[in-house]
Structure 1
Amino acid sequence: MYYEEEPYLPTHPTNMALSERYWLSSKGVSIYVNETNPLFLDQNNYRDNYLCLIAKNKAPYRHRDSVQLNYELGVFLDPKTAHQYMVKTHLGKPTGRPDKRMIQHPIWSTWARYKANVTDKIVETYADEIIANKFNNSQIEIDDKWETCYGSAVFDPIKFPNVTALVQRLKQKGFRVTLWIHPFINRGCEPAYSFALRNNYFAKNLDGRVEMSWWQGAEAATIDFTNPKAVKWWVDRLKFLQKLGIDSFKFDAGEVSWLPQVANFSGSLDMQPGIFTKAYVQTLATNFNDYIEIRVGWRSQELPIFVRMIDKDSRWTWNNGLPTLITTLLQMNLNGYVYVLPDMIGGNGYLDGSLNGTEYPPKELFIRWLQANVFMPSLQYSFVPWDYDKEVKNLKNSF
């Protein structure tokens, strides 16, 4: 892997949703860098086969008067002993377990199969297919484009004319219902955007600006999860969705690279900007139940919730394809995140990289993906076995 002075924080361009400052070698040598240092990672750049750790005053970190690189070097007889020591002294362990049903039975998501084309009829038809094909469920998850606009936290009344009735029917069919949530509000999504802006609920940069962009919004802003008033307002809106019958949530994003740069938060300067990710995840774990899922982490290994892998592509290759299920799982585990939720079985099926186009994974790729996932903590379908043939559908009887 190649990195050229990459800021070592939860960032999306390099898929570093988890970026714990811990390295372990097969010879039993460990490195741990203090979380307060403005750390950059340089790998196979200055020198081949070398890891270079750099601390400097440079974005996305805020300027500080004194720059230090504080690290701990451990030398042990073997990597197992080294890792056990790191777990005990730095990484810690989860304080409990996530929801058992998410481990016992599959999660069913609308995302890969339908992308943003969700409606109440599509969701219910999907649920009926799952039942007709005699599959169990832990929950069914309604993904992107359920809102009137991104960040409104209000169901689109055309797509979902009666949410309460839909949820009740799904529960009668034996499903729990979860909803995709993100921490952004698009400019023009009213009245949410203006209300949050007026009350200083958005994360700001050093110039006081809130503008940022994300994959579904060229002009948007991010909720400041270090602001207790902003957190209460944002959480209350989700609690209202739960009053409609929504059981839990799939939380997306949370990396500091989605913030206006250079981000400026209250609290310790030395912990910025990583404090944003930690505050975001802590908010979710504290205010919602144990069958949420998140996709980021920064010093949050103690939380007993599922952490989802970043979207995988429907490929055989090492370029974010099938083999990277294994490496991602191992990396997350080594960094102390043991409750790993693999992404959709078969990958996301992006057509030419588009968020809206769908290309189904080939049958063999789907089968191999499913076989790998069976040995991981949880199964998550979007593409389904009956999209193929009886052979794939009957595979569940062999596990």
Structure 2
Amino acid sequence: MLKRILSLSMLAKTTTLLMLTSMLIFCTSANQTDYNQIIEIEENELWYGAAVNEGEKMPFEKGYKANLNGNAYGNQASPLLISNKGRYIWSEAPFAFEFREKHIVISENSEPIHLEKNGNTLKEGYLGASGKYFPPKNKLPEMLLFTSPQYNTWIELIYNQNQKDILDYAHQIIDNGFPPGVLMIDDNWAPYYGRFEFRKDRFPDAKAMVDELHSLGFKVMIWICPFIRPDSEEARFLMKNKWVLMDNMGNIDLSWDKATKPAIVEWWNGFSMVMDFTNPEALGWFQEQLDFMMLEYGIDGFKLDAGDPEYYTHNVLSYKNVTSNEHARLWGELGLKYPLNEYRAMWKMGNEPLVERLRDKHHTWEDLQLLIPHITTAGLLGYSYSCPDMIGGGDYSSFIDVDSDKLDPKLIVRSAQCHALMPMMQFSVAPWRILDDVHFRAVKKAVELRQKFVPEIVKLAEESAKTGLPIVSNMEFMFPDQGFGDCKDQFMLGQNFLVAPIITTEDSREVRLPEGNWVDANGDIIEGGQTLSFDVPLDQLLWFRKL
């Protein structure tokens, strides 16, 4: 085993050691976490990957650093970096990395780091990594998630989820001319975390509610999390069986079988016990609760929130000794049983039939501008079945105690347009409640445009399940070496449709057309290989088809 430490100063002095850097990455064993691995950046090489929520910072520049150990950056992540030269870096475990002047320095890895090459482009590099480390499964999530808009009750009701208002929301969707789709009942439908039944004070007849939603054409999801209220009947039962994470009480030498107290983890809704999905019996119990909700009430699927690595902290003990990132991945595996699923946090589950939602965005133009670099990064990590958060923003702090006249109606419209030709489209705040007629009609027009593209989106989803290719991708992915490496305001739907939404307060924008001929929405042919300016009316989305 080669055990040689290379410093940047040594690299600067000799080309021989530059060659050895590539050798080092294959010779690092699990206990050599203090040895930096140094990878030379090639001329004009651009790097992407690792964390979806860092997408706007790609391609990575000098000074950027990240540590994936216990951190998925609030969204999906994977131990993968890919370059526009076809090279990729992979490990089975998380690692830290830093971009310096001409090198990538990798550290804190507990598994070998693999530097490999497939072709000479970003797309070829992705296909090489995907084919070897997270191959496509030829399986898809529930197709209704693609074929119709989704509707989430979060922004309208926040923690006041209740039968009457949910049914009112559903009827308003239909009455205002929107097609039915998946309806997601968000947090606080249960008496407490760990109790799998609808609370009677807010849902006097939950089965009848679900039946009515089904009669309207909806499929119904409910929000769930891996947390358990510590002073509950369920907590006592789970603790008796040690099906929750245990606390090492500050003793790093304490083994799981000797632990006597449950770990109490702080999350955004308080302090809870956490399910231990390394234990098959704990997993079985949890699945029984979900299956009960489907059988008892007719629930069709689940929005599986939380599961972030940081909730599996260093002081916890589990049935099997795994990393915090692996705990997050096991939360993802749970969803494979349920075709109708949605996740926000994920680790190393590329090309699985799981729906991945972007992290909650604020009701701001700045956050709207994050949708494209984030969702295209998701595709680069194999998370192709992705949803760009909620139209107008999904962070409730932007809406709570805010009058509708203080919201930006244009932002709602441009957000809907940005969603329209992405893999999925999700509403939460009710546009008919907050918009005047002009802006409301513009939103409906975006939905109508999407419905025309549904056959294309379905075809791309089916192809992705077979090939691993993302449904939407950044421009560099499809058009290498044409100067699109840092393009973050337009994207490709499949190989043939360029989408350029308005994501600023202006009603005009420039579009960088790749080489070749393109057809705009009016049928006019435009020669590519140039940058053009377009005025974009409020009710229009710019898109182009490649001839």
Fold similarity call, TM over 0.5: yes
Q: Deviations over 1:245-275 (max 9, x none)?
A: 21111110111211242443344x5x52322
Q: Does 1:391 align with 2:465?
A: no
Aligned-partner SS, 2:184: strand
For residues 154 and 357 of structure 1, what CA distance do their matches in structure 2 show?
29
Aligned-partner SS, 2:307: coil
What are the residue-to-residue correspondences of 1:29-68 with 2, within 5 Å? 29-32=87-90, 34-36=91-93, 39-42=95-98, 47=100, 51-55=104-108
Aligned-partner SS, 2:165: helix
**Cα pair 1:205 1:264 within 8 Å, conserved:** yes
Q: Which residue matches 1:274?
A: 325
Q: Deviations over 1:65-85 (max 9, x none)?
A: xx5653324374232222222
Q: Which residue matches 1:18?
A: 76
Query: RMSD in angstroms over aligned alpha carbons?
Result: 2.4
For residues 377 and 265 of structure 2, what CA distance do their matches in structure 1 show?
30
Q: Which residue matches 2:350?
A: 301
Q: Which residue matches 1:292?
A: 341
Q: Which residue matches 1:98?
A: 141
For residues 76 and 295 of structure 1, what CA distance do their matches in structure 2 show?
32
Q: Deviations over 1:71-112 (max 9, x none)?
A: 324374232222222222223224312222211111111102
Q: Which residue matches 1:60?
A: none
Q: Which residue matches 1:222?
A: 274
What are the residue-to-residue correspondences of 1:312-331 with 2, within 5 Å? 312-317=361-366, 321-331=367-377
For residues 152 and 182 of structure 2, what CA distance do their matches in structure 1 show?
9
Deviation of the 1:322 alpha carbon: 0.4
Distance 1:49 1:170, change over 3 A: farther
Q: Does 1:240 align with 2:292?
A: yes
- For structure 2, the residue ranges without an aligned partner over 5 or more in a row are 1-56, 58-62, 250-258, 450-547
Aligned-partner SS, 2:286: helix
Deviation of the 1:348 alpha carbon: 2.0
**Cα pair 1:204 1:260 within 8 Å, conserved:** no
For residues 334 and 191 of structure 1, what CA distance do their matches in structure 2 show?
43
Deviation of the 1:140 alpha carbon: 1.2
For residues 274 and 401 of structure 2, what CA distance do their matches in structure 1 show?
27
Q: Which has the larger radius of gyration?
A: 2
Question: Pick from 67, 83, 96: which aligns with 1:6?
Answer: 67
Letter of the 1:379 partner, please give it: M
Q: Which residue matches 1:348?
A: 394
Aligned-partner SS, 1:282: helix
Question: Pick from 102, 126, 130: which aligns with 1:83?
Answer: 126
Aligned-partner SS, 2:347: coil
TM-score, structure 2 normalization: 0.63
TM-score, structure 1 normalization: 0.85
Aligned-partner SS, 2:159: coil
Distance 1:303 1:25, change over 3 A: closer
For residues 317 and 279 of structure 2, what CA distance do their matches in structure 1 show?
12
For residues 3 and 152 of structure 1, what CA distance do their matches in structure 2 show?
43
Q: Which residue matches 1:147?
A: 190
Percent of aligned pairs with the same amino acid: 26
Letter of the 1:35 partner, please give it: E
Q: Which residue matches 1:109?
A: 152
Structure of greater relative contact order (alpha carbons < 8 Å, 6+ residues apart): 1
For residues 358 and 202 of structure 1, what CA distance do their matches in structure 2 show?
39
